[in-house]
Amino acid sequence: MSTPRAPSTLAAGAVEAIVPRFAVIPGGQVRRALAGREKEIVEVVEATYRLHGAGRTVNPPSSFLRFPERPTSRMIALPASLGGESPVDGLKWISSFPENVRTGTPRASAVLILNDPDTGYPFACLESSIISATRTAASAASAADRLSRDRPRPTRVGFFGTGLIARYIHTFLRGSGWSFDDVGLYDLSPESTSGFRRYAEQSGEAGRITVHARPEDLIRTSDLVVFATVAGEPHVGDPAWFDHNPVVLHVSLRDLAPQVLLASTNIVDDVDHCLRAATSPHLTEQLTGDRDFVHGTLSDVMADRVHVPADRPVVFSPFGLGVLDLAVGSYVYDEVARSGELQIVDDFFHERGRYG
């Protein structure tokens, strides 16, 4: 990524400072920059996983802001630094307010700040709920592909939770070459399943769409299971439901009881990040006292350091890395800059001299 910069003008005799221009990229521009580019974004995400696996990123633990009077809501800060040929630093600030869906408002809202690694100055603020959903979906699509290479390719997908993230994952699966004979849906909200069904039909989904009344039926009839809920604690605990050895994209992280994980091959995006904050893998570590049930990361699978057997379920539990947001956000920034449509905030950084 190349960051356009404009030199500041200082008093005579002062050293010239190089301060990046500051741009604001609203959601409409973000959407246009990403629309129809699922394969490209999956490649961006996979390249980022490789950099992370090679130790060329900095990805501190996320910071959670919680509210005693609003226990289901939270805000999360994800600082990160991405190395490689196009380095960038930054921060995603994302809120999760599940009660929003009662009024038809999306659960999550977010902004992403991109910082120039040479000066530390922020040079862009992007609407980031779309970026966050996109990197989550691209990560899921990559995992579905990588984890199914040594087994029959799934033809029956089941979505456990049918909100915005499920929609993005379905879009990325189709956009990266997947097709399904059957699409199963399960959600506690009939309105959500109806909305997802309408979306799927309008998207051209050719597979048979079935709304399941019981979660067990959805899981047992799916070769690829996508968990995309707002669950705060495990609610699926019977390993027998997974006896057919599906690929499980455990995107929402807190749906599966430790007994299910212990009967599965477990792949994560980052071990230290995933085994915290009361995720299902974290609860499994607390139960067993070790991390032996984690078999490796997605970057390990991509590099053939970890083999995924076909004779047991495989569960991918991604905590969601801030470096993925930086990578996708940088992609968006570059696309908007190339279009000539960057909205620059002139004189955003007003004090450019130490002594005026």
Give the torsion sign (CA, 7, 8, 10, 15). Answer: negative
Q: Which amino acid is at 21?
A: R
Mean pLDDT, the chain, whole residue set: 93
If pLDDT is split at 50, 70 and 90, which confidence band does 17 have? low
For residue 61, is pLDDT > 60?
yes
What's residue 355's pLDDT?
Answer: 77
In the prediction, which pLDDT does 9 show? Answer: 39
Percentage of residues of the chain with pLDDT beyond 90: 87
The pLDDT score that the predictor gives to residue 209 is 98
H/E segment holding residue 257: none
**Residue 319 and residue 298: Cα distance in Å, rounded?**
12
User: Which pLDDT band holds residue 12 (cuts at 50, 70, 90)?
Assistant: very low
Q: What is the DSSP string of 46-87?
A: HHHHHHHHTT-EE-PPPEEEEETTEEEEEEEEEEEEE-SSS-
Q: Which amino acid type is present at position 328?
A: V
Average pLDDT over residues 158-179: 97
Closest CA to 88 of 49, 126, 122: 122
What is the C-alpha to C-alpha distance for residues 96 and 134, in angstroms, rounded to an integer? 16
The region of weakest confidence among 16-30, 269-283, 306-320 is 16-30
- Longest Cα–Cα distance in the chain: 76
Is the CB of residue 212 less than 8 Å from the CB of residue 190? no
Tell me the C-alpha distance between 315 and 326, whole Å.
25
Tokens standing for residue 261:
């994980």
pLDDT at residue 116, as a whole number:
95
Task: Write down the pLDDT at residue 213.
Answer: 97
Query: How much is the pLDDT for 356?
Result: 67
Three-class SS state of 290:
coil
Q: What is the pLDDT of residue 289?
A: 98
Strand partners, 89: 81, 115
- Residue 102: the pLDDT is 83
Query: What pLDDT was estimated at residue 20?
Result: 85
Distance CA 87, CA 80 (A): 11
- First-to-final CA distance of the chain: 32
- pLDDT at residue 5, as a whole number: 37
Is a pLDDT exceeding 70 seen at residue 13?
no
Q: Give the model's confidence band at 101: pLDDT under 50 very low, under 70 low, under 90 confident, else very high.
A: confident
Domains (ranges, CATH) in the chain?
A: 5-131+322-344 (3.30.1780.10), 137-317 (3.40.50.720)
Say if CB 280 and CB 258 are below 8 A apart: yes
Q: Report pLDDT digits (tens) over 257-266.
A: 999 999 999 9
63 contacts: CB under 8 Å, gap ≥ 6: 76, 77
Quick: pLDDT tens for 218-256: 999 999 999 999 899 999 999 999 999 999 999 999 999
